[in-house]
Structures are given as structure tokens and as C-alpha cells.
């Protein structure tokens, strides 16, 4: 994986080293430092790691030495051919970049790495030449499969000649690109057989390219372990170890990937972003203590924005080995709200030694997570809600469910600090006649409802919540229409999820209108404005509003004159899980500072 926090010249930075050390020291067997560019022309991201020149060697050697104390260490050699297909490389270019791989392998050996892996998938240069989807050359490097394999063969040969048996040499392939004219499993099994004959040491079995990225980095909409059947087919045909990948982010599928014979080694990336201790906890049987990856692909979104990778559920990314400091003196803390922000704050405040009491007005912890997981394919959200609740309870928080926290109740115990995490409330848009429609509900109402009644539904709002609510309604057989005022569907979703849910909705017969603004609700009929003028959309039994949220904090102003107050999460303004969890940690870390200033 590219974590995009090296220096701009590709050199190792402190945060880069800390990220990998935090994982290596937690009993990972083999750390592969991801997608390291072998030539400046093959750099794909602003702060990607490089191995293209000797001045980078001290940092690489220091990284390898630090990690090698804990596990075996490899480095993935890559060349990202951004927007430049195989036909645009002349024979001199090919020789230059091929030699760059050899020189990089020699540097890896000199730096103390145990292994190199060739990045030959996911639209990197070696994949471009292997794939008929990209390779339109008519010379010895294009056309037939042996010709398309020629470049990879030459790179492997040159590296083996240079380093002999001093390094483990692996290759990562997209076994299926999931496009009509792309690499298919029968071709990649042949490629794997050739690599086996060439005595590579392992093959990592991935899949997909950019337009099928939901296979490469499966979101929560795609079942866990979906790529393992491909790995199993390759494993039948080669003698070298096969590494299986593809959302092996829960202990049961992680274990079964090897025990059931799909692959010889199981690899995870996002699960280790979410919880550096994933491997250790799996081996120790501490499944419940694993911070679950929710496969939201926020990490991938950061990378595609050319930002350092961050995680929706792990607020420690970027401060990966930070020890949570104990409070210097006792602090009593009241947390108002048992959603992700409040639970994060409560758990970390308790771990620091604070005396924490958490008020949650409903009968369950989790806040918006408890309703968010009800939409199809969102089971990981419930897993994360359960994790947050368990962490707060294990940390020793006093949790009061079904209790409304008023200012008077809070101040009765004279807390040193109050953390307000009351979340947001649904916005009801100002649409003529909406208030007189007999059945108007918010998306929250629908998601909370024990059952959805039959009828014809209009969902106002085509963001993430609107689409997910529409899908839930459609699963009951009800007819659904979605209106979105802008030209963009699924705001708040990564593209890997957005494309899938829109496709599912349209396949299921949901009518989706973009750039459509509701103007008037006339009984059960709805008039709307489109680019072509006003139109009558039809008759609807139920109107569901998914037009966003506004803050819901009337509490902090009543408290601020009496005690130290922090406001976090959607109580500041509505955002995502990432901000909620991160601000919860930050509020807990600031407790000592604020209390001392009081």
C-alpha cells in the first residue's frame, strides 16, 4: 500500500518509519513496504517512497534495520505509468526503466531488505504491458501473451542475475482485471506458470484495475475474501507460495484463507491500517479487541487526493506509536452522547485515568452508527459500533443509557470537564406543501423503523444516506424514486461504493433524478424543477427526507460559564465517522491542559 507520507524526494520520513514500525512490532510475519518507485518518471504520488538513487539509501537502510528486528521485510518495486500506455515507450525507454528495476533491487539488497516484490498489477507499468486492455503494441512487446510477458520476464531475469539468491523475489499480479478485453484468469495462470519456471519465490494474487477498483480494494458492498477463489486456482497450477488478498479483514476469513487451502499466506493492508495489532490479536484469539476496518475506503480516497493516508476508524494514523499519556491529576469528565465521537472520547479519557460518566438518551450506544448499519451491505458499521461500545465499557466508563443530560443534571456532580457529542438532527427542507403531506419521514425514521410499510416512496436527497435509505426501502418491494438537486450522486461515498450502489438501485428499478429540485407537494403529487423546466413526478404515498443534518448543540452554551467544555463530532457541524473518532481522541488528550487552565 502507498501511505503517501515519505518526503517529496521519495526519502523516508519519521512518520513513514513510525507507521511501519507500529505494525512490524506487533507480530506481523512479513512487512512489504508498498509501491516504491524505481525511477523519477515512475512516481505516482507526491509523497511516495522512492528507491531510484543512492542518496535515498541511508533512510532505506535505517527503515529496513528497524523493521528487521521484528519480522522479515520486503520492498515493492514499482513504476507508475500515469496516463502513458505501452505504445508511448520506445525501446530505449524500455531498457532504461527495466534497468531501473535491477538497480533498485541491488539497492534493496544493500539496504538490508529480505525481499523485493515486483508490482505488476493495478495499472502500474509492468501490468500495462501484460494487459491486452492497455497494450496495443505490434512489436515484440505486444500482441501475443508471450510478447506481453516479455518485459516482466526480462525484469525478473535481470534482477535474478544481479542479486542471485540473496533476495526473495515475488511478483504481484491482477489475476483478473474484470474488463472484457483485460487479463483473464487463464492468461494469468499461464503467466504464473512461467514465473514458477523462472524460480520466483512467491506470487501475490490480486485483481482489478482502476475502473474495476471495487475488486482491487473491495468496499463493504463486496463480500469479504472475494478474490480468494482466483488465488486458489493459481495455487493449483504453481509450486511456489501464493499470497491471498482482498478484504481478509476479520479473523475468521483471515484464518480460513489459509486453513481452507485458498492460499499459502494471507495478506492484509487496510485491516492493518485500522488496527496495527491485527495479526497479534488474531493469533492470540483476541478477536473482540480488534478495531474493525469498515471497508469505507477513506484511506484510498486520501491517496487519490494525493494526501497522506488516514483512516476513518483509527485516529492514530500519523501518530502511530504515540503512547496515551496518563493524567497528572484526577479529572472528572462527563461525556454527553454515545455516538462515535462520544464513545471515542469516553474510552480514551478513561484510559488516561479520568473518571468518566457518559450520558446517552437512547437505550443503545452507537448513535448514528446504530441506524447507519441497517442499510444493505453495511454490516461493518455495526461491528465498529460494537467495538467502540466495548472499548468504552472495558476502559471503565460509567454509562447511563436512556438518560437525557440537561445542564442542571450535569452540573450537580461538578465535573472538571464536559465533552458535548450530541450529534446532529435531520434538516427538513422548506418545500411548499411538504408539511401537509400525511406521511413525511426522515431517513433516520426509516432506518430506525422495525419494518417498512408497502407503498410508493419519494426520497429527497441523493447523497450517501439518501441512496442507502432508498436501497433499504427497495428491498421490501416498495417502489422508490430518488431526487437529487445537484448532478452528483452519493456525496460522502468513495467511488468504489458510489458506483456499486447506483448500479444496484438502477438494476432494481429505482428511478433516480439528478439536477431535480422539488418545488411543491400537492397532496400526494410532487412538482419539481429540472433543467428542462417544471415537471410532475407522480403520486407518492410516503416522502422520505435525506437532505443532510444540522448541529444539535444547545447544551454547551449553558455549561461554559461553569466548567470546561469541549464540543466534538457532528455537534460542531455534521461530517463523517473519521472526524468524530479523531476529535474524540483529541478531546481526551487535551483534558489535562484544559483542566489546568480552568
The reply to whether the predicted model has a pTM over 0.85 is yes
CA distance 351 to 454: 48
Residue 551 pairs in a beta bridge with 424
Q: Looking at the predicted structure, is the pLDDT value of residue 446 above 90?
A: yes
Per-residue confidence (pLDDT) for residue 532, from 0 to 100: 87
Q: Looking at the predicted structure, is the pLDDT value of residue 16 above 80?
A: yes
Mind listing the pLDDT tens digit for each residue in 199-255? 999 999 999 999 999 999 999 999 999 999 999 999 999 999 999 999 999 999 999
Are the C-beta atoms of residues 137 and 86 closer than 8 Å to each other? yes
Contacts of 53 (CB under 8 A, 6+ apart): none
CA distances from 555 to 123, 237, 262, 469 (A): 51, 65, 54, 30
Confidence of residue 12 (pLDDT cuts 50, 70, 90): very high
Mean pLDDT, the chain, rounded, equals 95
Per-residue confidence (pLDDT) for residue 40, from 0 to 100: 97
Helix residue spans in 305-406 (DSSP H): 340-351, 368-372, 379-394
Confidence of residue 29 (pLDDT cuts 50, 70, 90): very high
Mind listing the pLDDT tens digit for each residue in 339-363? 999 999 999 999 999 999 999 999 9
All 3 cell numbers of residue 513?
433524478
Residue 353 CB neighbour total at 10 angstroms: 18
Q: Which of 300, 280, 298 is nearest to 290 (CA)?
A: 280
- Domains of the chain are 14-304 (3.20.20.70), 332-423+563-597 (3.40.50.720), 434-547 (3.50.50.60)
- Of 381-385, 490-494, 571-575, minimum mean pLDDT range: 490-494
Q: Looking at the predicted structure, is the pLDDT value of residue 533 above 70?
A: yes
Confidence of residue 80 (pLDDT cuts 50, 70, 90): very high
Per-residue confidence (pLDDT) for residue 598, from 0 to 100: 42
- Of 113-127, 443-457, 504-518, minimum mean pLDDT range: 443-457
Residues in the chain: 598
All 3 cell numbers of residue 127?
501490468
Q: What are phi and psi of 5, to 5 degrees?
A: -135, 20
Confidence of residue 531 (pLDDT cuts 50, 70, 90): confident
Say what percent of the chain tops pLDDT 90. 91
Residue 550 CB neighbour total at 10 angstroms: 12
Confidence of residue 558 (pLDDT cuts 50, 70, 90): very high
User: H/E/C letters for each residue in 479-520?
Assistant: EEEEECCCCCCCCCCCHHHHHHHHHHHHHCCCEEECCCEEEE
Confidence of residue 597 (pLDDT cuts 50, 70, 90): very low
Residue range 522-538: mean pLDDT, rounded:
89
Q: Looking at the predicted structure, is the pLDDT value of residue 596 above 50?
A: no
Amino acid at each position: 500500500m502507498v501511505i503517501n507520507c515519505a518526503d517529496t524526494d521519495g526519502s523516508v520520513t519519521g512518520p513513514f518509519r513510525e507507521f511501519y514500525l507500529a505494525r512490524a512490532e506487533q507480530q506481523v510475519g512479513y512487512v512489504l513496504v508498498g509501491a516504491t518507485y524505481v525511477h523519477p518518471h515512475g512516481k505516482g504520488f507526491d509523497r511516495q517512497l522512492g528507491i531510484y538513487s543512492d542518496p535515498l539509501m541511508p533512510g532505506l537502510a535505517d527503515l529496513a534495520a528497524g523493521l528487521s528486528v521484528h519480522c522479515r521485510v520486503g520492498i515493492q518495486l514499482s513504476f507508475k505509468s500515469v496516463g502513458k500506455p505501452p505504445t508511448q515507450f520506445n525501446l530505449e525507454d524500455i531498457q532504461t526503466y527495466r534497468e531501473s528495476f535491477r538497480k533498485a533491487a541491488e539497492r534493496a539488497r544493500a539496504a538490508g531488505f529480505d525481499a523485493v516484490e515486483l508490482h505488476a498489477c493495478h495499472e502500474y507499468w509492468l501490468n500495462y504491458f501484460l494487459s491486452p486492455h492497455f497494450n496495443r503494441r505490434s512489436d515484440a512487446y505486444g500482441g501475443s501473451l508471450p510478447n506481453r510477458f516479455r518485459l516482466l520476464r526480462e525484469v525478473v531475469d535481470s534482477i535474478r542475475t544481479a542479486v542471485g539468491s540473496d533476495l526473495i523475489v515475488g511478483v504481484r499480479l491482477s489475476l483478473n482485471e474484470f474488463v472484457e478485453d483485460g487479463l483473464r484468469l487463464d492468461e494469468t495462470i499461464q503467466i504464473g506458470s512461467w514465473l514458477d519456471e523462472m524460480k520466483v519465490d512467491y506470487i501475490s494474487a490480486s485483481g482489478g484495475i482502476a475502473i474495476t477498483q471495487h475488486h482491487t480494494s473491495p468496499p463493504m458492498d463486496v463480500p469479504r475474501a472475494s478474490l480468494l477463489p482466483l488465488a486458489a486456482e493459481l495455487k493449483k497450477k504453481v509450486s511456489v507460495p501464493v499470497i491471498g488478498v482482498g478484504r481478509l479483514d476479520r479473523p475468521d476469513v483471515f484464518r480460513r484463507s489459509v486453513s481452507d487451502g485458498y492460499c499459502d499466506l494471507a495478506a492484509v493492508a487496510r485491516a492493518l491500517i485500522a488496527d496495527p495489532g491485527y495479526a497479534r490479536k488474531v493469533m492470540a484469539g483476541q478477536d473482540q479487541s480488534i478495531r474493525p476496518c469498515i471497508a469505507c475506503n477513506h484511506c484510498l480516497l486520501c491517496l487519490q487526493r494525493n494526501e497522506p493516508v488516514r483512516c476513518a476508524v483509527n485516529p492514530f494514523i500519523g501518530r502511530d506509536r504515540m503512547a496515551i499519556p496518563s493524567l497528572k491529576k484526577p479529572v472528572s469528565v462527563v461525556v454527553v452522547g454515545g455516538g462515535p465521537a462520544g464513545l471515542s472520547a469516553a474510552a480514551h479519557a478513561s484510559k488516561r485515568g479520568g473518571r468518566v460518566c457518559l450520558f446517552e438518551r437512547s437505550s443503545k450506544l452507537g448513535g448514528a452508527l446504530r441506524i447507519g448499519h441497517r442499510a444493505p451491505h453495511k454490516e461493518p458499521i455495526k461491528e465498529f459500533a460494537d467495538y467502540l461500545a466495548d472499548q468504552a465499557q472495558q476502559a471503565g466508563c460509567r454509562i447511563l443509557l436512556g438518560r437525557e443530560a440537561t445542564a442542571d443534571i450535569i452540573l450537580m456532580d461538578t465535573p472538571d470537564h464536559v465533552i458535548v457529542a450530541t450529534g446532529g438532527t435531520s434538516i427538513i427542507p422548506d418545500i411548499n406543501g411538504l408539511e401537509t403531506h400525511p406521511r413525511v419521514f426522515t431517513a433516520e425514521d426509516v432506518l430506525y423503523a422495525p419494518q417498512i410499510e408497502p407503498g410508493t416512496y419519494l426520497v429527497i436527497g441523493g447523497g450517501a444516506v439518501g441512496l442507502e435509505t432508498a436501497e433499504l426501502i427497495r428491498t421490501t418491494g416498495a417502489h422508490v424514486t430518488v431526487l437529487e438537486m445537484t448532478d452528483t450522486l452519493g456525496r460522502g461515498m468513495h467511488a468504489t461504493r458510489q458506483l456499486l450502489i447506483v448500479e444496484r438501485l438502477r438494476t432494481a428499478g429505482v428511478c433516480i433524478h439528478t439536477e431535480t429540485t422539488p418545488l411543491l407537494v400537492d397532496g400526494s403529487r410532487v412538482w419539481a424543477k429540472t433543467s428542462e423546466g417544471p415537471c410532475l413526478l407522480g403520486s407518492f404515498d410516503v416522502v422520505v427526507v435525506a437532505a443532510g443534518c444540522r448541529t444539535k448543540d444547545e447544551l454547551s452554551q449553558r455549561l461554559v460559564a461553569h466548567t470546561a467544555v469541549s464540543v466534538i463530532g457532528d455537534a460542531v457541524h455534521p461530517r463523517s465517522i473519521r472526524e468524530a473518532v479523531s476529535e474524540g481522541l483529541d478531546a481526551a488528550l487535551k483534558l489535562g491542559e484544559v483542566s489546568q487552565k480552568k
